[in-house]
Chains A and B, each alone.
Chain A
Amino acid sequence: MITRVTLKDHLRETRLFTNRALLALIISVALTLVVVGRLVYLQIIGHEHFKTLSHDNRVNITPLPPTRGLIYDRNGVLLAQNLPAFSVEIVPEQVRDLDTTITELSELIEIDDDDIERFHKIRKQKPAFASIPLRFRLNEEEVARFAVNRHRFPGVDIAARLMRDYPLDQRAVHAIGYVGRINEDELRRVDPSNYAGTTHIGKIGVEKAYENILHGVVGIKHVEINALGRVLRVIKENKSLPGQNLILTIDAQLQEEAEKALGENRGAVVALDPRTGDVLALASTPTYDSNLFVAGLDAKTYGELQQSLDQPLFNRALRGQYPPGSTIKPFIGLAGLEYNKIGTQNKTFCPGWYSLRGDTHRYRDWKRAGHGATDLRKAIAQSCDVFFYDLSHTLGIDLIHAFLSQFGFGALTGIDLTGELPALLPSRNWKRRIHAQPWYPGETLIVGIGQGYNLTTPLQLATATATLATRGSNWRPRIVHALQDPNTLALDIISPLITNTVEFNNPDNWDQVIAAMTEVVHGRRGTARAIGEDAEYIIAGKTGTAQVFGIKQDERYVEEEIDLRLRDHALFIAFAPVANPRIAVSVIVENGGSGSGVAAPVARKIMDQYLLREPVNDAR
């Protein structure tokens, strides 16, 4: 075998190197000549032009931050606006010693460590010549104090900026969200030039989800400044483009009613227009004051909000995951009818408990004495557990999972807000994947009454109820109705979208279940008959009571509170009027006890407000 060995040929290598080095030299000289050419262009040909620009006056370029779009409710009630406020700002490059300057400033203006920390974080992200706010919302006294001492602080100035303001304070805070000071992460995700003059960015809610629409486009001002820093004339100005206004689907009045109805309770309400998926109200209590976040919270207040046992910052409507309890029963009933596992006449005998064959475990009904012979209508109206144990056992988990999926359980609804959680609709696959265990028949029974692994969000419950109300149209919930051009006020309406349509072989099945749900409210023995007695319209509803499975080991509760926080969650879903549904509601009251006693009256108040108010309000 012959291997070819290349020997080093030093003479050839040296010659090769010399050639290459010579070529490199020629290219270097040529490139340098290009630079010289450019310099000749700038310093000889363009000299007069640039000299004029530089002579006595100099050009400064400043960003003109756009005005953030306003937010209105569906009837034109202002939910978010911009108010002028003073802030103190520093151009780091023009300051000789930042720390000393800040220390001296803090003698005139109250500046805490959080302000300083945030200032330094933002400073690292921005060029040294950018003006960076140190503290917002100075009061008049502070402005005056600084103005007198301004000569001591080169590179520091007071700026008048528009600050976000939420005139309704705590109202609808979980829907609207708030803006806060831009942090490092956010600055990396946006176009830094477009945010050159912007100090705040949407952090949560509509403010975050529609940030790019609300923000607008930055403008630029070229100004001549004399040696003393005074503006002599504006050379060029590209006006900023204000952000678009948003018209929400939220009804501020209804929202107020929902929050009032929840009162001091922890809970959530979602009210939808079943015909479009419009979110009429989205409440999560307790609430908090979003204006605090605009001005900047100190660590203590924020810590209190975050660590509060009541979790005011937690958006229960989108992220709260609760067992649906008995509110799942109408859907299971529909599945039974649709898959022909039961007829409307079929009766199951309820002795107060249910057992699987070959198993001695007794699954109890909430009513110890039992409901006796029970058909579907009675089972829903009186919330019989045994009927649904039996039905779900007949259906099996696979059919239940397939059927409930059509109503959006266990999946994101696709609402135009960020942070929504999918909750959980269990299946055989899911259990194998997560728990590495097979599915046990007993677990199907529990799922059939809305307990066990089953979890839903209030938003999911509301959309599923709306789908029921429309007999199968599953509209994607939406919170923004239209974009509005701030100048022409022309509306750009976002059209509602159907996620999917549930179709049955026998459309009568809808009527059967809806009739049973009507009996829940208006029947003689319906579980929510208390709210149906004096109603001026016909309501279809379903109560639910979800067990709370104890508290986590690592959480500490005050002794007296343990009982309170272990009480069952109260749930209620409803839509009305039955003949032509205009509103679908889901209500959850954490540890409320019973669905009929606590959650149903909340829903009734909301529906009353919406359906019985003077029609004048519905300007749209």
Chain B
Amino acid sequence: MLDSSYRVQRLGERRRIRWFFLVRGLHLDMPLFTALVVLSAVGLGILYSASGQDVNILIRQSIRVLIAFTAMFFLAQIPPHHIKRWAPWIFTFGLSLLVAVLTIGEIGKGAQRWLDLGLFRFQPSELMKIAVPMMVAWYFAERALPPSNAQLLVAGLLTIAPTLLIAKQPDLGTAVLICSSGLFVLLLAGMRWRTVTSVILLVIPLGWLFWEFGMHDYQRGRVLTFLNPENDPLGAGYHIIQSKIAIGSGGIYGKGWLNGTQSHLEFLPERSTDFIFAVFSEEFGLIGTILLLLLYLFIVVRGLYIANEAQNTFSRLLAGSLILTFFVYFFVNIGMVVGILPVVGLPLPLISYGGTSMVTIMIGFGILMSIQTHRKLLPA
């Protein structure tokens, strides 16, 4: 009796171990992977509704999801030390592309973001979303932390240069992401609070001086509109007014999947892309949105856990920065849709229609998984 139960137990354990090694061999972090799959599925579901039940759009987006997951899987196989070795090269490459975009970039949608490579068009700022945290983490990897002021200055420049190039395109949303990804590395590296405070104290009067003397009246007007879009009901404010009606009319329980009225009757602009969260809120209500936010938060918690478990400075800083930037990503989008942040034009990660940014995000998660699954197992 005892023997057989023992055997059953052994068998179960063996199976578990085999499963463990199989998953380990795939280099996937199961909790994170599961959450991402659920999120993407939710995304496809809501896109189907937002697009007016357009099967073509659904198919196109599904293909993008598959490509993005493939990219993630591919990245997860690359050990972090390789990624670290490439960091400066990727960064330099990306920075030169940004300069190229500003000089020869094709003008699309009134902003110079795209580089036409003949076969396909490529947005170098997407590359920089990964390259900047990689570069700054690389810079701190072998240095003693917390960083000295001189080191902070260098790291700051590595962040600011691409940020300014992208802001000039102008792509404000991406500039915000790239700037924060660099700053997160600085903060996670242990930048002293004293330094943080002094930088802030320095920036405030500079900003005021620029506002008073460096700007024309019409530019100030544009900044004010930007900060308070509801004053501009024919521009950015139009989105906010419509999205507030959509969200508010959803109530606690929502109108149900495919039953959103605001979004389906052409009142809500950009409902498949930047403003898809309003469609979600209208259809799934407060309960649905809280569940969605919890799902996002779970991903952030898991990401921070992976960062904290990482075994060297580079991995730790890179993982931490990537996951916090992901937080900024969805927080800025949702904040903009619910009308508490300015409209900067960022998609809702993994849910909004569109492929480029999704691939970048999943590459980031691929790196996180690589960091988590290439750890050397240490005796406890």
A→B interface (CB under 8 Å): 6-9, 12-14, 16-18, 20-21, 24-25, 28-29, 31-32, 34-36, 38-40, 42-44, 46-47, 49-51, 53-55, 58-61, 63, 91, 93-94, 124-125, 127-129, 184, 188, 191-193, 196, 218, 220, 222, 227
Q: Mark B223-240, 1 if CB is under 8 A from A, else 0.
A: 001000000111100100
| Closest-CB distance, A6 to chain B (whole angstroms) | 4
Query: In the assembled complex, which residues on chain A have CB atoms less than 8 Å from the CB atom of B355?
Result: none
Q: Decide if B245 is an interface residue (CB 8 Å cutoff).
A: yes
Q: Decide if B293 is an interface residue (CB 8 Å cutoff).
A: yes
Q: Decide if B157 is an interface residue (CB 8 Å cutoff).
A: no
| CB–CB B234/A47 < 8 A | no
| CB–CB A43/B285 < 8 A | yes
| CB–CB A13/B313 < 8 A | yes
User: How far apart sit A29 and B244, CA to CA, in the bound complex (Å)?
Assistant: 23
| CB–CB A35/B286 < 8 A | no
Q: Decide if B173 is an interface residue (CB 8 Å cutoff).
A: no
How many residue pairs link A and B with beta carbons under 8 A? The number is 164
B→A interface (CB under 8 Å): 108-110, 142-146, 184, 187-188, 190, 218, 221-222, 225, 232-235, 238, 241-242, 244-252, 261-262, 265-267, 269-270, 281, 285-286, 289-290, 293, 296-297, 300-301, 304, 307-308, 313, 316-317, 320, 324, 327, 331, 334-335, 338-340
| CB–CB B293/A36 < 8 A | yes
Closest A-B pairs by Cβ, 3 of them: A50-B248, A54-B249, A6-B144
| CB–CB B190/A13 < 8 A | yes
| CB–CB A124/B251 < 8 A | no
Query: In the assembled complex, which residues on chain B have CB atoms less than 8 Å from the CB atom of A222?
Result: 233
Instruction: Enumerate 16 A-B pairs (CB-CB under 8 Å) in ascending A order.
Output: A13-B190, A17-B188, A24-B320, A31-B327, A36-B289, A38-B339, A43-B281, A44-B286, A46-B248, A50-B248, A59-B241, A61-B234, A124-B108, A127-B235, A127-B238, A129-B269
| CB–CB A50/B308 < 8 A | no
Q: Which residue of B lies closest to A13 (CB)?
A: B145
| CB–CB A43/B320 < 8 A | no
Q: Which residue of B lies closest to A194 (CB)?
A: B234
User: How far apart sit A47 and B255, CA to CA, in the bound complex (Å)?
Assistant: 12
| CB–CB A39/B289 < 8 A | yes
Q: Which residue of B lies closest to A29 (CB)?
A: B297
User: How far apart sit A32 and B298, CA to CA, in the bound complex (Å)?
Assistant: 12
| CB–CB A50/B266 < 8 A | no
| CB–CB B232/A193 < 8 A | yes
Q: Which of A25, A43, A227 neighbours the largest number of chain B CB atoms within 10 Å of its CB?
A: A43
User: How far apart sit A484 and B297, CA to CA, in the bound complex (Å)?
Assistant: 61
| CB–CB A43/B324 < 8 A | no
User: How far apart sit A20 and B191, CA to CA, in the bound complex (Å)?
Assistant: 10
User: How far apart sit A55 and B259, CA to CA, in the bound complex (Å)?
Assistant: 12
| CB–CB B262/A58 < 8 A | yes
Query: In the assembled complex, which residues on chain B have CB atoms less than 8 Å from the CB atom of A188?
Result: 110
| CB–CB B286/A8 < 8 A | no
Query: In the assembled complex, which residues on chain A have CB atoms less than 8 Å from the CB atom of B251?
Result: 43-44, 47, 51
Q: Which of B248, B251, B261 neighbours the largest number of chain A CB atoms within 10 Å of its CB?
A: B248
Query: In the assembled complex, which residues on chain B have CB atoms less than 8 Å from the CB atom of A21?
Result: 188, 304, 307-308, 320
| CB–CB B244/A50 < 8 A | yes
Query: In the assembled complex, which residues on chain A have CB atoms less than 8 Å from the CB atom of B320?
Result: 17, 20-21, 24
| CB–CB A31/B338 < 8 A | no
| CB–CB B340/A35 < 8 A | yes
| Closest-CB distance, A283 to chain B (whole angstroms) | 35
Option from A43, A59, A218 in Cβ contact (under 8 Å) with B248:
A43
Query: In the assembled complex, which residues on chain B have CB atoms less than 8 Å from the CB atom of A44?
Result: 251-252, 286
| Closest-CB distance, B93 to chain A (whole angstroms) | 29
| Closest-CB distance, B23 to chain A (whole angstroms) | 25
Option from B142, B235, B246, B304 in Cβ contact (under 8 Å) with A196:
B235
User: How far apart sit A17 and B338, CA to CA, in the bound complex (Å)?
Assistant: 33
User: How far apart sit A9 and B145, CA to CA, in the bound complex (Å)?
Assistant: 8
| Closest-CB distance, B51 to chain A (whole angstroms) | 11
| Closest-CB distance, A220 to chain B (whole angstroms) | 5
| CB–CB A7/B307 < 8 A | no
Query: In the assembled complex, which residues on chain A have CB atoms less than 8 Å from the CB atom of B225?
Result: 193
| CB–CB B269/A93 < 8 A | yes
User: How far apart sit A128 and B234, CA to CA, in the bound complex (Å)?
Assistant: 12
Q: Which residue of B lies closest to A54 (CB)?
A: B249
Q: Which residue of B lies closest to A25 (CB)?
A: B304
Option from A20, A49, A191 in Cβ contact (under 8 Å) with B188:
A20
User: How far apart sit A24 and B307, CA to CA, in the bound complex (Å)?
Assistant: 12
| CB–CB A17/B308 < 8 A | yes
| CB–CB B234/A193 < 8 A | yes
Query: In the assembled complex, which residues on chain A have CB atoms less than 8 Å from the CB atom of B241?
Result: 59, 61
Query: In the assembled complex, which residues on chain A have CB atoms less than 8 Å from the CB atom of B261?
Result: 54, 58
Q: Which residue of B lies closest to A121 (CB)?
A: B110
Query: In the assembled complex, which residues on chain B have CB atoms less than 8 Å from the CB atom of A227?
Result: 265
Option from B146, B234, B246, B269 in Cβ contact (under 8 Å) with A63:
B234
Option from A17, A35, A49 in Cβ contact (under 8 Å) with B316:
A17
Query: In the assembled complex, which residues on chain A have CB atoms less than 8 Å from the CB atom of B144?
Result: 6-9
| CB–CB B247/A43 < 8 A | yes
Q: Which residue of B lies closest to A127 (CB)?
A: B269
Query: In the assembled complex, which residues on chain A have CB atoms less than 8 Å from the CB atom of B316?
Result: 14, 17
| CB–CB B248/A191 < 8 A | no
User: How far apart sit A442 and B212, CA to CA, in the bound complex (Å)?
Assistant: 55
| Closest-CB distance, B378 to chain A (whole angstroms) | 13
Interface contacts beyond A42-B247, A58-B245: sample of 6 additional A-B pairs, CB < 8 Å, sorted by A? A24-B304, A35-B334, A36-B289, A51-B251, A53-B245, A128-B269
Q: Which residue of B lies closest to A187 (CB)?
A: B110
User: How far apart sit A59 and B238, CA to CA, in the bound complex (Å)?
Assistant: 11
User: How far apart sit A278 and B257, CA to CA, in the bound complex (Å)?
Assistant: 69
User: How far apart sit A317 and B261, CA to CA, in the bound complex (Å)?
Assistant: 61
Query: In the assembled complex, which residues on chain B have CB atoms less than 8 Å from the CB atom of A32?
Result: 293, 296-297, 331
User: How far apart sit A227 and B187, CA to CA, in the bound complex (Å)?
Assistant: 51
